[in-house]
Amino acid sequence: MTKTTQPKSGSEIFVPLNMLKKSPRNVRKVEHTAAEVEGLAASIAANGMLQNLVVEPEHDGEGRETGHYFVTIGEGRRLAQLLRAKRRQIKKTDLIRCVLDTEHDTHEISLAENVIRSSMHPADEFEAFALLHNEKGMAADDIAARFGVTPAVVRQRLKLAAVSPALMAVYREGGMRLEQVMAFTLTDDHTRQQEVWQCLGWDKGADAIRRALTEGQVAASDRRAQFVGVEAYAAAGGVIIRDLFDDENGGYFADPALLDRLVLAKLEQEAQAVRAEGWAWVMVTPEYDFRATSAMRRVYPTEPDLSAKAQRKLEKLAAEYDELEALAESEEMTEAMQARVSQLEREMEALKGQPVYDAADIAAGGAFVSLGYEGGVRVERGFIRKEDEAPASQRREAEQEAAGKDGEVSTALPDRLVAQLTAQRTAALREAVVQRPDMAFIAVVHAFVASTFYVGNRVSCLDMTVRTVYLSAHAAGIDESPQGRACSDRQAELAKGLPGDVQDLWDALLGFTQEQLMHLLAHCAALTVDAVVRPGAGSSSTLKHAEGLAEAVSLDMAGHWQPTAANYLGQVTKAVIVEAVREGVSEEAAAQLADLKKPAMAEAAERLLADKGWLPPVLRSSQQSTETALAA
């Protein structure tokens, strides 16, 4: 355009899209996001460009107009139109309605356009989306397309619009945050929403709201829910309460009783495969309990016998494997070497085959099928009940026969004399053992292992009492905790290296390395540790020893336990809860809890103490107790 025909400032003009440029004096330096441009493009396509662009003419170095225009206000809309042109919804030469401004300072009006503006309140936005859906019949997908957002975002906004009008009024007045409104979308029951809001104490956070609304329900992250699965639960008529604002969208299973029945039914299905192995009995239990198996003898599978040819090949592969491992200690392994190591491992495992149970043990023994810690199936095999053992008369005959072979004690001598003679032998044996600490160590390990791994067998001549202490009677579910599973997995792994018959144990241990013996002894000794303070029991020397042992092994319970409403805070008085928060967090935090009811106080304290490392006095070491006292 020439100067003589240039419209006046403030006039409406139409400029081809490809003649519009971003103004170098636009104060907005951070680019519009792709989502923002997408939303503008969708809105323009549906409703047209509701607001004109404000432009000024571009000049060259000599002050002449170039024919292009700088967009002073409306850069986002220009980018949206360019996106529509790229998608061939419009042409690059299509005319765009603009307002010419050559009077005002470009920098100032750009700043004013970005700063002096008032955004719509989110609640108004939610209700506007709901009006399109409820009164104009637009589906979520259609609304999403018109506003450049995803259908999931539209569904979230429609869900927010369905929250109680009374609570939405609180939100508009600033008495509630958006995350709290989001938490209320777990139910469409306005009465229930308002009851929860009114009953919450000091802690009205989103987590507290969710807990109140889902009380008695099972989170999708629960191992029972993971095991059954959403599809099976829904097919059985179960209702799932969805949380549209949960990134994983897991929700809550609303019928715990149905879920428990489905868990048992699925475990029963899994048990069919175990029964097919030929076990005399298979017991299905939701929780695996060590105590239930404590009176049973347990047998373990053994490695299958290899042919001479297979044994030779295995030894050859093992030799090559050892060479590569030794080489890795002195130089970095190449990819080819690492691949060969992996291949050797696979080939050796294939040659060894899977461990197998003795057919007689399968015929007499049984297995437990239960729910594992992480939502899988836990199968524990090889348990033989007392009533399924060989008759006592047969065992006595076998023992007498074995005694006759191992070293007969003459029955012609008087019992009193036999006792005198063997007492002399015992005294001499004690002195001999003292001279051989290595053999004394093996004898102690033998006594421990015989009592720990071979139930009901007394084969050691050492008069030692080794008794596994089961903790499930004091803390339900402890056997399925990470520590409980680690213990049972370790026992099963160690058992693989032990003979099936306790009579062969001594000879087997003589061939063990010092490291193997130490591992066995540590495991057996650990299972005898009993530091449980029982009702009515006062302090004792054993508990004092437990404290010393804990310090010697540097036990820090903060790494294994933290207070929750279920395991501690809900079982103590309000005064104890307040004191815990005072010690673990601050005086101010403790004071804020003072007026809450007990359940709300316990839940609030759980959140405040999370990851703070606070421990109740009974779980602290002496040093921790001293430090806490000094800090008070």
Residues above pLDDT 90, as percent of the chain: 12
Confidence of residue 258 (pLDDT cuts 50, 70, 90): very high
CA distances from 77 to 53, 153, 187, 381 (A): 8, 22, 39, 69
Rounded to an integer, the average pLDDT of 576-599 is 88
Q: Is the pTM of this model over 0.85?
A: no
Lowest mean pLDDT among 169-178, 468-477, 594-603: 468-477
Q: Write the DSSP string, 223-275.
A: HHHHHH-HHHHHHTT--EE--TTSTT---EES-HHHHHHHHHHHHHHHHHHHH
Confidence of residue 386 (pLDDT cuts 50, 70, 90): confident
Lowest mean pLDDT among 1-10, 248-257, 375-384, 515-524: 1-10
Helix (H) or strand (E) holding 22: strand 20-22
Greatest pairwise CA separation for the chain in angstroms: 142
Rounded to whole angstroms, the Cα distance separating 431 from 427 reads 7
Instruction: Name the percent of the chain in helix, strand, coil, to the closest 5.
Output: 55, 10, 35
Confidence of residue 283 (pLDDT cuts 50, 70, 90): very high
627 vs 255, more confident: 255
β-pair partners for 381: 367
Confidence of residue 581 (pLDDT cuts 50, 70, 90): very high
Rounded to an integer, the average pLDDT of 319-344 is 85
- Pairing, β 12-16 against β 95-100: antiparallel
What kind of fold does domain 3-115 have according to CATH?
Answer: 3.90.1530
Sign of CA dihedral 469, 470, 475, 477: positive
Helix (H) or strand (E) holding 378: strand 377-384
Tokens representing 605 are 């304290």
Sign of CA dihedral 613, 616, 619, 623: positive
> What's CA 37's distance to the chain center, in Å?
39
- Residue 407 has a pLDDT of 46
CA distances from 125 to 7, 128, 140, 331 (A): 39, 5, 15, 65
Encode pLDDT of 157-168 as tens digits: 777 878 888 888
Tokens representing 332 are 């970095």
Rounded to whole angstroms, the Cα distance separating 350 from 410 reads 52
Confidence of residue 314 (pLDDT cuts 50, 70, 90): confident
554 vs 15, more confident: 15
Q: Whole-angstrom distance between the N-terminal and C-terminal Cα of the chain? A: 82
β-pair partners for 370: 378
Query: Minimal CA–CA distance to 263: which of 240, 234, 286, 238?
Result: 286
**Residue 596 φ/ψ, nearest 5 degrees:** -80, 155
406 vs 358, more confident: 358
Rounded to whole angstroms, the Cα distance separating 106 from 113 reads 11
Give yes or no for residue 396 having a pLDDT over 50: no
Give yes or no for residue 623 having a pLDDT over 70: no
> What's CA 482's distance to the chain center, in Å?
11
Encode pLDDT of 486-534 as tens digits: 887 888 888 888 887 888 888 999 999 988 888 888 888 777 777 777 6
Look-up: residue for tokens 């060590």? 290
Query: Minimal CA–CA distance to 549: which of 541, 559, 560?
Result: 541
Query: Minimal CA–CA distance to 98: which of 54, 49, 58, 156?
Result: 54
Please check whether residue 243 is in contact with residue 186, taking contact to mean a CB–CB distance below 8 angstroms.
yes
Please check whether residue 159 is in contact with residue 181, taking contact to mean a CB–CB distance below 8 angstroms.
no
**Residue 12 φ/ψ, nearest 5 degrees:** -90, 125
| Rg, the chain, Cα only | 38
Please state, rounded to an integer, the average pLDDT across all residues of the chain.
Answer: 80
Sign of CA dihedral 136, 142, 146, 150: positive
- Residue 1 has a pLDDT of 44
- Residue 265 has a pLDDT of 93
Positions of CATH 3.90.1530.10 in the chain: 3-115
Confidence of residue 96 (pLDDT cuts 50, 70, 90): very high
Rounded to whole angstroms, the Cα distance separating 557 from 473 reads 20
Confidence of residue 276 (pLDDT cuts 50, 70, 90): very high
Please check whether residue 197 is in contact with residue 165, taking contact to mean a CB–CB distance below 8 angstroms.
no
- Residue 442 has a pLDDT of 81
- Residue 392 has a pLDDT of 45
Encode pLDDT of 23-71 as tens digits: 888 777 778 888 888 888 887 887 788 788 889 999 888 888 898 999 9
The number of helices, as runs of H, and strands, as runs of E, in the chain is: 28, 12
Please check whether residue 20 is in contact with residue 68, taking contact to mean a CB–CB distance below 8 angstroms.
yes
- Residue 120 has a pLDDT of 61
Please check whether residue 565 is in contact with residue 207, taking contact to mean a CB–CB distance below 8 angstroms.
no
**Residue 460 φ/ψ, nearest 5 degrees:** -90, 140
Rounded to whole angstroms, the Cα distance separating 370 from 282 reads 11
Rounded to whole angstroms, the Cα distance separating 405 from 188 reads 80
> What's CA 207's distance to the chain center, in Å?
18
Encode pLDDT of 237-247 as tens digits: 888 887 776 65
- Residue 306 has a pLDDT of 81
Confidence of residue 189 (pLDDT cuts 50, 70, 90): confident
Query: Minimal CA–CA distance to 604: which of 616, 586, 590?
Result: 590
156 vs 614, more confident: 614
SS3 (DSSP) at 28: coil
Encode pLDDT of 448-477 as tens digits: 888 887 766 567 777 777 777 667 667 666
Lowest mean pLDDT among 299-308, 351-360, 418-427, 436-445: 418-427
Torsional class of 540: left (φ above 0), alpha (ψ -120 to 50), beta (otherwise): beta
